Chains A and B, each alone.
Chain A
Amino acid sequence: MIWNVTSTATMLDYDFMRNAFMAATIVAVVAGLAGYFLVLRGQTFAGHALSHVGFTGATAAILLGVTPLSGLILVTIAGGVGMGLLGDRLQNRDVAIGIVLSLALGLGLLFLHFFVAYATQATALLFGNVLAVDTDTIWVLLGLGIVCVVALAIISRPLLFASLQPELAEAKGVSLRLFSVLFLAIVALATAECVQIVGVLLVFSLMVGPAAAAQQLTSSIAKGLAISVALALAEAWLGITLAFYTDWPTSFWITALSAAIYLAASGVRAGLGRRPVGPMAN
């Protein structure tokens, strides 16, 4: 290894690198937690869909002269709440959903078209640009991240009940729709956060990859959440580090690590065969 203590110190000498690590840390924690519930509920596509819709919001915001992040947040939350309210009616509507998502990207393209000066923003929004995150954005990410984590903590118990045993939860007085809407609003915020790191097209890699790998590795919820966050952090940190030393895009490294870790986790699973994995939680 040539990257010893000195070269790490060199990397962190740059403001933009320190910002990138801070932003990635906040977002990875949020993505790891929200993603775990998303995978458990079988709603991974929702995260993907919300980020596409968010692209329209972000580009519209640029057109209106406000920060892309505000448009992104507003529209993803509206999308999340809408999806939560529609609920089951969205099932088996692949074509309709696909058309809406393409339209969202198309509209985003149109909005950008009107502002040629911002063409570089398109790449940043689509594929992320964590090395360009400034201090103000970090504070916004931290604030939103805290809101996400606290909200998830508050609803996690009924959310898990509603996710794993909906009919029984309903009978015990849990409103399935309420928690679906609240959860997707949280996912919308988490998506908006992820976009800052990996962009709208690659949200899946940070939000779903680590969580899905975690669920391959343990059958306990508590451990699953911890592993999901740990993997998201590892992918984000390692991705930024590799980008610094290779000059390849961070988002590429994060997607590559996400895929590699998921494959490895599936391999570990297959290797364990039918033996029970993971001691019970609690």
Chain B
Amino acid sequence: MTSLELDDVTLTLGGRAVLAGVTLAIGAREFVGVLGPNGAGKTTLMRGILGLVPASRGTIRVLGKPAARGNPSVGYMPQTRNAAGALRLSGWDFVARVCDGHRLGLPFLDEAGRREVDWALEMVGGRDLARRPLSELSGGERQRLLLAQALIGRPRLLLLDEPLISLDPHHQRAVVDLVKSLQVELGITVLFSTHELNPLLGAIDRVLYLGRGQAALGTVDEVITGPVLSRLYGSEIDVVHLNGRIFVMSGEHDLERHEHRHDA
């Protein structure tokens, strides 16, 4: 069964078509890296899948059903890191908020809810973070809590928006390895957006590259090529392979590095 189907989808943000007539299908248990320059629509695509941005044309189907808010089968790790990081709230309490968080009532969890939180923390190797306050955690540790939150409800499709941002290469690798092991162990589909392709090499099954309203989906060798990327960027792009790493260059600039620095 396909996890995600886009049929001629146009997503509009502030009057601009971020995606224009995109059609694609992502199968079950696929690990897909979502790449593209700033403003290419990586976040908007995820918000479309979550039902937060309605398609102005076409249909988005998630696990066989039309995209809609509150789908428990979709886990999400948003890119905007909110102010909660400054709070002295325990990691456990932070993750626990997601458990039935949409239901009215007191915020205390029953036995099943507590087990779910413990399980999610266990899955991300975050049991030692349970008692520690958010304000004392490192970026990588907070990232693991956000991932644990995304796992609450046992999703079959996991959307991770820029989990590598502002992490050093060592922690980037750790996050990719963790997500890969979760994806394999839980047998779920993962969409993982990032500015940098290299940390994902070896982990992802396919790449979804977005640019100028268009999308290219395929293996790294199929998509990360001069002609495909030149079409998506609308300018001459060279792809350079060096020691197992791939560099996307426009003239003399390494585009991914440039984008990353731009964002940070």
- Residues of chain A at the chain B interface (Cβ within 8 Å): 40, 42, 153-158, 160-161, 163-174, 215-216, 218-222, 269, 274, 276-282
Contact = CB atoms under 8 A, between A and B. Distances in A.
B104 A154 contact: yes
A276 B133 contact: yes
Contact of A165 (B47, B92, B105, B149): B149
A173 B107 contact: no
Contacts of B87: 40, 164, 215
Interface string B137-153: 00000000000011000
A170 to B, nearest CB: 6
12 contacts: A153-B106, A155-B104, A158-B103, A163-B84, A167-B82, A168-B78, A169-B101, A171-B47, A171-B52, A172-B98, A276-B132, A280-B93
Nearest to B103: A157
Interface of B: 47, 50-52, 69-70, 72, 74, 76-80, 82-84, 87-90, 92-94, 96-98, 100-109, 114, 130-133, 136, 149-150
Contacts of B114: 282
Nearest to A278: B90
B92 A173 contact: no
Contacts of B104: 154-155, 157-158
A56 to B, nearest CB: 31
A169 B136 contact: no
Contacts of B47: 171
Nearest to A279: B131
Contacts of B106: 153, 156-157
Contact of A282 (B108, B149, B150): B108
Nearest 8 pairs of A and B residues by beta carbon: A173-B70, A161-B101, A167-B78, A219-B90, A219-B133, A171-B50, A280-B92, A157-B107
Contacts of A279: 131
A120 to B, nearest CB: 42
B102 A174 contact: yes
A280 B131 contact: yes
Contacts of A42: 83
A161 B97 contact: yes
A164 B132 contact: no
B130 A157 contact: no
A157 B105 contact: yes
A262 to B, nearest CB: 14
A43 to B, nearest CB: 11
Contact of A161 (B52, B98, B109): B98
A153 B108 CA distance: 11
A228 to B, nearest CB: 13
A173 B104 CA distance: 12
A142 B138 CA distance: 45
A209 to B, nearest CB: 16
A219 B100 contact: no
B92 A281 contact: yes
Contacts of A174: 101-102
Given A165-B82, A219-B88, A278-B131, 5 more contacts: A40-B87, A157-B100, A165-B97, A172-B70, A282-B108
Nearest to B50: A171
Given A277-B133, A280-B130, A161 B82 contact: no
Nearest to B110: A282
A156 B107 contact: yes
